[in-house]
Amino acid sequence: LEFDLDDRSDLATRARELAWTAAESKARQFAYLADKDLVEVLEVLEDFDQIVPMRGRVAAMKADSAPIAVERGEIEESISVRVRWAMA
């Protein structure tokens, strides 16, 4: 037994927002260290992983003929973004 969401778009949207904020923060720090300003975004590349917890599967494998145990878990959406900026 494995639970999932019908629609992960809200999770993906939030994960993208967090990835973008992290990338922009790092870019601004590098621009500051180089005494430059960020001018424009040149490229955005996205990679994502859908991670489903294994806890439920392990519990199910242990329960040979016992009633099915349903454990609480989490569903994660992991997105990484690579952004290239021009600096001036």
Write out the residue range of the structural domain in which residue 80 sits: 9-87
pLDDT digits (tens, 9 = 90+) for 39-48: 999 999 998 6
User: d(Cα 10, Cα 14) in Å, to the nearest integer?
Assistant: 6
Stated as kind and residue range, the H or E segment containing 86 is: strand 76-87
Q: Is residue 2 part of a domain?
A: no
Say what the pLDDT of residue 6 is.
75
**What pLDDT, in 10s, does the model give residues 48-75?**
655 555 555 555 555 556 677 777 777 7
In a domain, 3, yes or no: no
Domain count, the chain: 1
pLDDT above 80 for 85: yes
